[in-house]
Structures are given as structure tokens and as C-alpha cells.
Structure 1
Amino acid sequence: MLGASTVYGDKFIDYQSHKRQPHPGAWDLKNIISQHFLLSAPMQIRSSPTSAVNQENRDIFISRWPEKKDPFTQADLLDSEEAQVQELIFWIRTSISTPYWEGLTNRLVTLFNDAKEEDPASPGISVGSLRNFYNFFQSHTDLKCPTISLTPDNNIYASWRVDQKKVFSVLILPNGDSRFVIFKPNDLHPERQTRISGTTTTDMLKTEVAPHGVWDWISE
């Protein structure tokens, strides 16, 4: 459901990340790549059914869950979630080729390490949010590079700012939903802004926001 209102000013959701020195044991993507991302459990990659000619648009679901009958302990679950996050970042780094993708991947690594420094008991980045983030970009390869950050729940928050009056931001949730907010000039009162916000599934995001002109700002 969408809601629209006119606001005065250009306030919008913005999660800022502060630069820090790497904490002991911080994850280094270059080291992972050089080791070919070898972990103890075999990697399982499952893709949604697609034709051979459309493989570049497939949805990727990666898991490295330990195969055992006993229920997970909290430590097992955390280790497995961290492994999935690292595996997904590695997959993102090596499977999409755009001019900015390497820099965006490095940003994900920085966010992961920062989150682990703040809370060692967290997975760093939400596995579900990261997976949906990847699938969204895999489905829309014409997107410009966003500014990304993490919410307190370790979900990915992406934002495209054209200027102070045109901003599109989206919070990508683990369950496949996305919460978005659009700021754009008011058509009748250019000195004011219109704010439009809503919730939809990530795979319907383009359909929901395109009528508001957003795709013209955020894609090549």
C-alpha cells in the first residue's frame, strides 16, 4: 500500500556508517578470493528454473548449512550464517560485471566487518537481505551504483540521490519485502517536495516505483 504526502524540506531516511580501523580478525575479501573460498562444507548452489538462454537473469540461492541431524546450537547457527554471508559476497564479487560492482562489493565487506566489530554475536549482514539485494541487482543490471549501509538489524539499505530534491531509498528485508521512500519535487509547487512511501515485494519494486519517474533517475 502506498501513501503520499507533501513535506517541506528534504529529510529522508539515511543510515550513515563511520570509517574505522579494521578490528582483529576482520574479513578480507582479497584473501578469500586468493584461497578460492575454500570452507569445510561443500557449497550448494540452487537456481530458479530458467531457460539456458536466460541464465544471466537467474535467482541465486546459496547455502552452506552443515548436514547433521542434531538441532543447531546458537554457535552453529551463527557460524553458518557468517559463512553464507561471506559466500554470498564472494559470489556477488565474481558473478556480476559492472563498472562499480567491485567497489560495491568492497563496501559490503566493510559493512560486514564494522557490524562484527560492533556486535561479534551478529552474522554481520542479514543473509536474507543480502540474497534479496543480489537478486534485485541481478534482475536489473542497468541500475546505477547506490550508496549502501546497514540498519541496526543488519539489513541492507540502498539509496540513490540525484540532488537534494530527488531521492529514492529502499530497505531490503530478509523475507523478500522492501520498504521504500521517494522524494521528488511537487509538480504544482516546485519549491516543495512530495514524499511517497510504501512496502512491496522486492521483485515488484520496479513496477511500483517506475510510474513516479524513479527508474529514470537510478538506471543508465
Structure 2
Amino acid sequence: MTTPRKSPPRKKTPVKSAPSRRPGKVRRDPERLTAAILDAAVAEFSEHGFAGARVDRISKGAGTVDRMLYYYFGNKERLYQAVLEEAYRRLVDAQRHFVPPEDPVRGMEALITQMWEYYRDHPEFIRLVMSENLLKGRYIQQSETIRQVSLPLIHSVDRLLRDGQQKGLFRGDADAHFVLMTIMAMGFFHVSNQYTYGFWLSDSMTPPVRGDDWLAHMKTVVLDHLRP
């Protein structure tokens, strides 16, 4: 009688465990990712304007992919509008932290300094405003968020001006809107047009060179105008 051969034992196939995450590779939370996208978009739009800005460069700068950008912001137009809203949010935050001295003259000087330093230190804001003006304010007018914003410095100028007028320090017919626009215009121009006036006048006039001299000039112009 022939004994049946035993078949060799089957080799067990090793069970593959689920792939583990690489150490240090943590998925970003939505809040951090949208903040990173906004930061990259502010840099891109301020450098290249609306027409020249590219979504792929923004995604790369934020460390993500185009799909996530579209997921959170929809399209390039909505992202640009969000960038404008973010730029004005930062401006308002800076102005809210500014508390001018009670003395009207010193308060006006401090207010001029605050606005000048913000423009000087945030050229990206200047470029974004210039870009939006080239678009004739198309996207800022569509933003309900910006429409509802009230710049704190507007109220600060008005309060300081009325206080100075009551104390006989400022002329009675001075207009708060004209005063604010004068301060904004002088600070804005010095940063926005530095490459052209620097060509015609002198590079020694462009920021940050002689920035303190320009600030002193701004104060002189405004306070001379306000003097009774």
C-alpha cells in the first residue's frame, strides 16, 4: 500500500501593517492653511498686481497645492478680495493699538508718526492699494467686510481736531477729512513713488534714507496749516 505524500506546508504571506505617518509630518489645520495662503497671496498680488498674479506661485509659497486654494477661496477673484480684506484688517488692527496723547498738538504729531511708519513698514499695503485703484476700486466695492470697516484714525483725527479747536490751538475752519487726506497723501506718496522721484530728484530722498526728515516735514506742513 502506497503512503500518500504530504504536501509541503504553505508559506504564510506576511500581513502588511497600515503605513504610518512620517515623523514630523503633521497635517495642517484649516486655520493655519488659510493664513498661509493669505500671506502668500498678499505677497503675490502686491508684487504682480491682480492680472499678473499666479495661483501656482501662491500655492507654492503657502506650501500647499492649487486644489486646496480653490477649496478654501473658490477662485482667483475671491482670493484677491480676501487679500484686500486682510490688508485692511491689518491696518485697522495697527490703528486700534495706537492711543494718541491727550494733548491735541502732541496727539496730532503722534498720529502723523503712526501713519507714516505704517506706510514705510508695509509697502505691500501701498502696492495693493495702487493695484486696486488701477482696477477703479472694483473689488473693494464688492466687499461688505471692508464697507463696514471704520478706520480708527478717522475718529482720532476728528477728536484731536475738535479738542484743539476748543482750546484755541487749531484753526476753527480746519476740516478733519482734509487733514487726514493730507497726512495720508504725503506718507503714501513718499513710499509709492520712490522709484520715480528718486530718479528725478535723488536716491538720497527715498525711504528709509531721510525718512525722519520727511516725517518732520509732514508734521510741519500739517501743524502749520492747523495753527490759528
Length-normalised TM-score, structure 2: 0.26
- Tell which structure's C-alpha radius of gyration is larger: 2
Higher relative contact order structure (alpha carbons within 8 Å, sequence separation ≥ 6): 1
When you count helix as a share of all residues, which structure comes out higher?
2
